Chains A and B, each alone.
Chain A
Amino acid sequence: MWLWAVADRFNSSSGPRGGREDQHGDQQAIGRVAAGDRDALADLYDRHSRAVFSLALRIVQDWSEAEDVVQEVFSQAWSQAARHDPARGAVAAWLLTIARSRAIDRVRHRRARPDSAGEQAVAAWPDPAPLQDLALLADEQIARVRAAVTRLPFLQRIALELAYFEGLTQSEIAERLEQPLGTVKTRIRQALIKLRESLGGAEA
């Protein structure tokens, strides 16, 4: 069978990867954004647009829609900067959770359209969980999680990815896989626990 090679991570990382200084820079930028400083927003864009776009593209699978999502994310960051509490998590993680929500909104809306007779209201995907991790992930940790995903039992992995990347609700996943709802929830939790273990012991 075809082996799909995904060698894209070999691309040169032209954007700066975060570190302590960058996280400090992010905190300062978000404060300035809250005060109406557009240069600060540009700052955040320069640092995080690639990660935001990459996630959006993975979910919506359409270049121009993904760019629209990026625009929405930074607009939301612009209007909600004052609400972001640095004690609750890194700015970078916050932007990515917004990106996922807005991307899932689009995917779900697109999915609903063929079936709807008229205007079918698709509820906006709930905004990101407010409890985040403070520290930023090292590249090596990201690689570890990515590798751990490939080692997950197939049904755990598929349930996790249907939830995270396809934005299916638990019930929708259960229906699609023809599995009991409880089984789906347990599988996803087990997958997350395994991935969390793969991150363990990564302290600097």
Chain B
Amino acid sequence: MSAATHDGLHELSGLYALGALTGEERADFESHLRSCDQCQADVRSFAPVVDALARAVPEREPSTALRGRVLDAVAGDRPARVDRARAIDTTGRRRWLSDAGWLAAAACFAGMLVVGYTARDRQHRVIALESRLREVTLRANAADRQIADVRRTASEAQASLAVLMAPDVARVDLEGQPVAPSATGRAYWSRSRGLVFTASNLPPLPAGRVYQLWVVTARAPVSAGLLTPDAAGRVTATIDTPRDLPTPVAMAVTLEPEGGVAAPTGEKYLVGTPGAGL
């Protein structure tokens, strides 16, 4: 094993544990892994993280009929023979919380779910009234109950993924204006799935003020919502937009009175225009 190989491949250990490497890259890493203790330790150290990601999804029970189907499906097959004797390994030392402790932790999570917002955030107004995002990420389902169920679990994070995965997504880069030269913003917009907006280095809000996001169309700027950055000046929002929204010619963030305004009045902090393809 050459040092050069290790240095180049070591950085991939997390991706490998995540199951995100494919093809030649994966093969190269795997073959390096066989002879590298450090990388093996690294991969192992990420394994609990990946396991936690897998378990942190919304919990759902499959239909009761599935059990029978699964067992019937293997009825005819014989599994591969055991080809070596195995000792039963019983090293499991982690202690488990009672259910009560777990529910309390879940309660904390529900309050922290929304990216970039604190519990004290104000109401945010948006232009769209009806959520379309979750519908477009679902395929037709048999039972209405199941559709409603999955919809309820579609979180904001999934909604932002849906926007990014849209075939018609376009990116808008926003630049800090003279009043906030180090601020940056980025928006991903899909006519079918809505808008994701993220910004950083926004100056702290003065008292009684709020940032407001505008989608500037040929006709008039349309408010996309109010933004309150965190202590680090970052904010992210996932926003429904109506399908009949005129194509944006620009996006902007202005500083407005608390509660927002119907049309922009305040100073511009971020401005950007879409790239090609919008």
The interface of chain A, by Cβ under 8 A from chain B, is 1-11, 13-14, 17-20, 23-24, 27-28, 31, 33-36, 38, 41-42, 45-46, 49-51, 53-55, 57-58, 61-67, 70-71, 74-75, 78-83, 85-87, 89-90, 93, 96-97, 99-101, 104, 123, 125-126, 128-129, 131-147, 149-151, 153-155, 157-158, 160-166, 169-170, 176-178, 185-186, 188-189, 192-193, 195-196, 199, 202-204
Query: Of the candidates A4, A9, A82, A165, which one forms a contact with B159 in the assembled complex, judged by CB atoms under 8 Å apart?
Result: A4
Stretch touching chain A among B60-68, B214-222, B251-259, B262-270 = B60-68
B3: Cβ under 8 A from any A Cβ: no
On whether A165 and B56 interact (CB within 8 A), knowing A10-B106, A34-B82, A42-B71, the answer reads no
Contacts of A101 in B (CB 8 A): 19
B48: Cβ under 8 A from any A Cβ: yes
- B residues 41-69 near A (Cβ < 8 Å) are 43-63, 66-67, 69
Q: Are A24 and B92 in touch, CB under 8 angstroms?
A: yes
Cα A170 to Cα B113 in complex, Å, equals: 26
Nearest CB of chain A from residue B136's CB, rounded to whole Å: 10
Stretch touching chain A among B174-182, B202-210, B231-239, B242-250 = B231-239
B25-37 CB mask vs A (1 if < 8 Å, else 0) is: 1100000010000
Q: Are A61 and B137 in touch, CB under 8 angstroms?
A: yes
Contacts of A128 in B (CB 8 A): 19
Contacts of B271 in A (CB 8 A): none
Further pairs besides A142-B52, A195-B52: 6, Cβ < 8 Å: A31-B82, A126-B26, A133-B48, A153-B200, A161-B161, A166-B161
Q: Are A154 and B116 in touch, CB under 8 angstroms?
A: yes
Q: Are B20 and A170 in touch, CB under 8 angstroms?
A: yes
B38: Cβ under 8 A from any A Cβ: no
B95: Cβ under 8 A from any A Cβ: yes
B261: Cβ under 8 A from any A Cβ: no
On whether A96 and B131 interact (CB within 8 A), knowing A71-B69, A147-B112, A189-B15, the answer reads no
Nearest CB of chain B from residue A63's CB, rounded to whole Å: 4
Contacts of B95 in A (CB 8 A): 138, 204
Q: Are A176 and B164 in touch, CB under 8 angstroms?
A: yes
Cα A157 to Cα B17 in complex, Å, equals: 16
Most buried by B among A46, A63, A104: A63
Query: Of the candidates A31, A66, A138, which one forms a contact with B86 in the assembled complex, judged by CB atoms under 8 Å apart?
Result: A31
* Smallest Cβ-Cβ distance to B117: which chain A residue: A3
Nearest CB of chain B from residue A18's CB, rounded to whole Å: 7
B1: Cβ under 8 A from any A Cβ: no
B4: Cβ under 8 A from any A Cβ: no
* Smallest Cβ-Cβ distance to A34: which chain B residue: B82
* Smallest Cβ-Cβ distance to A7: which chain B residue: B110
Nearest CB of chain A from residue B129's CB, rounded to whole Å: 10
On whether A155 and B109 interact (CB within 8 A), knowing A79-B77, A82-B83, A138-B96, the answer reads no
Q: Are A199 and B70 in touch, CB under 8 angstroms?
A: no
Cα A13 to Cα B176 in complex, Å, equals: 48
On whether A134 and B89 interact (CB within 8 A), knowing A6-B58, A199-B48, the answer reads yes
Query: Of the candidates B56, B77, B165, B200, which one forms a contact with A149 in the assembled complex, judged by CB atoms under 8 Å apart?
Result: B56
Q: Are B18 and A185 in touch, CB under 8 angstroms?
A: no
On whether A140 and B61 interact (CB within 8 A), knowing A70-B66, A71-B70, A188-B20, the answer reads no
Cα A135 to Cα B88 in complex, Å, equals: 14
Q: Are B79 and A87 in touch, CB under 8 angstroms?
A: no
On whether A13 and B59 interact (CB within 8 A), knowing A31-B82, A192-B17, the answer reads yes
Q: Are A67 and B15 in touch, CB under 8 angstroms?
A: no
Query: Of the candidates B56, B131, B157, which one forms a contact with A157 in the assembled complex, judged by CB atoms under 8 Å apart?
Result: B157
On whether A86 and B88 interact (CB within 8 A), knowing A1-B126, A97-B19, A100-B54, the answer reads yes
Q: Are A177 and B70 in touch, CB under 8 angstroms?
A: no
B141: Cβ under 8 A from any A Cβ: yes
Q: Are B15 and A199 in touch, CB under 8 angstroms?
A: no
B152: Cβ under 8 A from any A Cβ: yes
Q: Are A137 and B66 in touch, CB under 8 angstroms?
A: no
B111-149 CB mask vs A (1 if < 8 Å, else 0) is: 011111100000011100001000001110111001000
Cα A185 to Cα B105 in complex, Å, equals: 31
